[in-house]
Amino acid sequence: METVISLVPAQPVAMPPGRVFGAYVAEARSECIRYMRAPSFILPMLLFSTVFYVMFGVLLNHGDASRYLLASYGAFGIIGPGLFGFGVSLASERDGGLLTLKRALPMPPGAYLLGKMSMAMIAATIVIMLLILIGIFLAHVSLTATQMLALIVTGALGVLPFCALGMLVGTLVKGQGAPGLLNLIYLPMAFLSGLWLPLSILPPVLQNTAKIWPSYHLNQLTLAAVGLNHEPIIGHVLVLAGFTVVFLFLATRRLRRYG
């Protein structure tokens, strides 16, 4: 009997939706476990803004200052998990070849990024919840349930533009250089957008240029969440969405080209 060998390449078999969903969940779970096993990395990222809030929002409590600082240090704390959780780990994993290995695995291409994004959203939510607890029980800030929910949602979603920015930085530098470059972005951006000091006491030139920073627009959303900004927020939401799309496009383009 003759054996017939087909020269037609086999068609790839589509992964069932259940397994695709399971792959996304497994990747998000592995990211969470990996960060919990590195407390020296995750704890400073979670506690940085809370320490500042205790020092200036609680110990120097004066009028609405604690409410204002709850919003501004909330924005400050939201940014960290996006920048460092994405940027530092991505740069290190590119250096170590882990990203190349993950590409070779039979997993959905977006699972890697979604896993990191999920971890950043969880970390940002924890930061906001810690600040709310400190604000209510130590600084005696009065917040309604709606305001607390709005602040938590702002934290969970507001981290996304900074995930995209961290991802872009992670594609530009080596692992050892990522923390330094990210701090050069993080700290000046926070100061220049009014997260440490109200914009009204900064020089006019800094007040006029604050809107170019995504952190400024995030701060307007956190201020609105605690009842200190009564202007329409849709413009700030659209600006942050635009930053997310642009940074994500540039980052994915570099990843395709250079890995």
Q: Mind listing the pLDDT tens digit for each residue in 143-192?
A: 999 999 999 999 999 999 999 999 999 999 888 889 999 999 999 999 99
pLDDT at residue 86 in the model: 85
Q: What is the pTM of this model?
A: 0.89
The predicted model gives 198-221 an average pLDDT of 93
Is residue 12 in a domain?
no
Is residue 31 in a domain?
yes
- Judged against a pLDDT cut of 60, whether residue 3 lies above it is answered with no
- Judged against a pLDDT cut of 60, whether residue 135 lies above it is answered with yes
pLDDT at residue 22 in the model: 78
Is residue 1 in a domain?
no
When divided into structural domains, the chain yields a total of 1
pLDDT at residue 61 in the model: 72
The predicted model gives 200-220 an average pLDDT of 93
Is residue 190 in a domain?
yes
pLDDT at residue 191 in the model: 94
pLDDT at residue 31 in the model: 79
pLDDT at residue 186 in the model: 95
pLDDT at residue 167 in the model: 92
Is residue 13 in a domain?
no
The predicted model gives 66-79 an average pLDDT of 95
Is residue 133 in a domain?
yes
- Judged against a pLDDT cut of 60, whether residue 4 lies above it is answered with no
Q: What is the DSSP string of the chain?
A: -PPPPP-SPPPPPPPPHHHHHHHHHHHHHHHHHHHHT-HHHHHHHHHHHHHHHIIIIITT--TTHHHHHHHHHHHHHHHHHHHHHHHHHHHHHHHHTHHHHHHHSSS-TTHHHHHHHHHHHHHHHHHHHHHHHHHHHTS-----HHHHHHHHHHHHHHTHHHHHHHHHHHHHS-TTTHHHHHHHHHHHHHHHTTSSS-GGGS-HHHHHHGGGSHHHHHHHHHHHHTTS--S--HHHHHHHHHHHHHHHHHHHHHHHHH-
Is residue 15 in a domain?
no
- pLDDT-derived band of residue 257, with 50, 70 and 90 as boundaries? confident
pLDDT at residue 151 in the model: 97
- Judged against a pLDDT cut of 70, whether residue 12 lies above it is answered with no
- Judged against a pLDDT cut of 80, whether residue 72 lies above it is answered with yes
- pLDDT-derived band of residue 90, with 50, 70 and 90 as boundaries? confident
Higher pLDDT, 79 or 16: 79
pLDDT tens readout for residues 26-65: 878 887 887 788 888 788 888 989 999 999 888 877 668 8
Domain range spanning residue 230?
23-258
- Judged against a pLDDT cut of 70, whether residue 14 lies above it is answered with no
pLDDT at residue 211 in the model: 94
The predicted model gives 227-232 an average pLDDT of 93
